[in-house]
Structure formats: C-alpha cells, structure tokens
Structure 1
C-alpha cells in the first residue's frame, strides 16, 4: 500500500491513543468505504471498536480480516486481539483455542503466551495458566540466574504437565 495509506492508518491509531474512540471508528469506517474488504482496514476498524469497549462489534471485523487474507505482522496481533476480545465476552473455549494455535504458529511472540495464561485463568484452569506462565518465563526471560536454573525449572514445569 501507499505511504498515504499507512499515514491514514497511523492517524486513526493516534485518535485511538488519544481516547477519541468515536473519531477513530469514523476514520476507519471512511477508509473501509474507500478500500472495501481490505483486510488491514478491517483489522484496524475492529481494533477501534475493541479499544472503545465495543467488543461485539469488533469480533466480526476481526474474523472478516482473517477471511480476507490479513498477512504479515498483523496476523499474530489479530489473533491476540480477537482472542482477548472473545475472553472479555465470555467465549473462553474459543479464545483458548485461538491462542494455543497462535502460540504454536508464532512462538517468538511472548504476548500470545501471556494472553493464553489469562484466558486459561479466566476459564478456571489455574494449573494450565501457571504452566503457561512458567513456559513463558523459561523461554523468554534471558538472565544469568534463569540460565543457571533453566534445566531445573524446565524439569519442574514438565512434571506439572
């Protein structure tokens, strides 16, 4: 897409950050009118609704963005946002499934594992949530003390399964 396209998306994101939710929603609605079915605009439009606390309006936009072929760095972000939104509206099983799949596809994204732990905890699966957090710590906390005890921690985590 053009630099103008990216600039306009950035403007919508700035409106969200400034707490101007209705303006951000209107901004992305106008962009969607101009670029019908564009997966990136669908994703951003859904995000504007999500930020405004209008989760039920965000969910179908997120789904349509995936259906229309959202790609690149936005895919793991969309999975996280969709799953988090589903968790917020009580659709815990679907949220967990999406996050588990996303964690397998994008292991370099620790935020996915953290949100998986939140979803598991919301589903009263505290053991699984804590295990996910231990996995996250072992995989992504890169300090001398964690390296020293990594084998012991990994064994403990594996014993919990």
Structure 2
C-alpha cells in the first residue's frame, strides 16, 4: 500500500510542479480521503491549495501536516512557514505570529522563517520586534561590504531603534 501511495503522491506533486494545479488538487484531496493521517499528503494538499489562492482551505491541511511526527525536517519547516504565512494572508495575525515564532525557535538558522515572522509582527502592530528581527538578519547575513562595515551599529540599533550610540 505504501508504494501505491508514494506513486500517487509523486504524480500529484509532479502535476502541481508542471502547473496543473487543479488536477493536482483533485488527486491530493482523494489521497487525503485514503490517508487522512498522512502528514506528507496533508502538506502537499495544503501547498496546492496555497498555490491556487485557496488559503482558507489550505489551513486544516497544514495543521494536520505539522500536528505530529512524520515530515522530514525540511518539509516540516516548509509546512510551518506555509501555515504561518497563510494565517498572515488571512489576517489571522496572532496565529501567524505564534506559528512563525515557534517555527523560528525550532529552526533558528532559517532566515526565511524570521522574515515571515517579521511581516506577521508588523501586521500585529509589533513593529519594534519586526524591525529588530529584520535588522539583525540583515546585519548577520548580508554579503554587502557596505552593510558589513556597519554591522556593529546595525546590531546595536536592532535592539532599540530609539537608542543613541
């Protein structure tokens, strides 16, 4: 049964990647009926709904995907980012902040998670926290020599934009 599931899942993912998203969605929804507890099927189903602009329909699939074990670390990171970002797009800012904060704590080296967290914080009117994350990320990851030259100052101001040197 696992080989059958793997083949069907791979076909649906290939359809999504090739731009046949509606057909992929139909196949993934059928797979969800067959394998309702499968986190990979749930993740791929959420992803295709997001790709189609069906964010509200994606949420329960993302939630099912991340509820328990079963995803690879990379897929778990992607599912958490997708869920947090989807909450943000839907205006569910507290849930977005919580999801992305927890994900950034679980994957502390992931700059994309921190970036999406900063956007959610901005939407939740927590602009100081958002700026701190973005400035710290910029200071620590930029290869731009002009930015690197100001790294100590940027890191200082990231902690408190109202501070003076």
TM-score category of the 2 structures, normalised to the smaller one: 0.7 to 0.9
Distance 2:34 2:60 in 1: 19
Listed as ranges, the matches of 1:1-161 within 5 Å are: 5=6, 8-71=8-71, 72-160=73-161
* Alignment CA distance shift 1:151-1:8 (3 Å): farther
- Secondary structure of 1:160's partner? coil
Distance 1:38 1:93 in 2: 27
- Of stretches 103-112 and 137-146 in structure 1, the one that deviates more from structure 2 is 137-146
Instruction: Flag structure 1 segments of 5+ consecutive residues without an equivalent.
Output: none
TM-score of the two chains, using structure 1 as the length reference:
0.84
In angstroms, what is the RMSD of aligned CA positions? Answer: 2.5
Q: Deviations over 1:54-111 (max 9, x none)?
A: 1121111111112242432111111110011111111101101111121121122111
Instruction: Flag structure 2 segments of 5+ consecutive residues without an equivalent.
Output: none
TM-score of the two chains, using structure 2 as the length reference:
0.82
Distance 2:67 2:45 in 1: 15
- Work out the number of aligned pairs and report it: 160
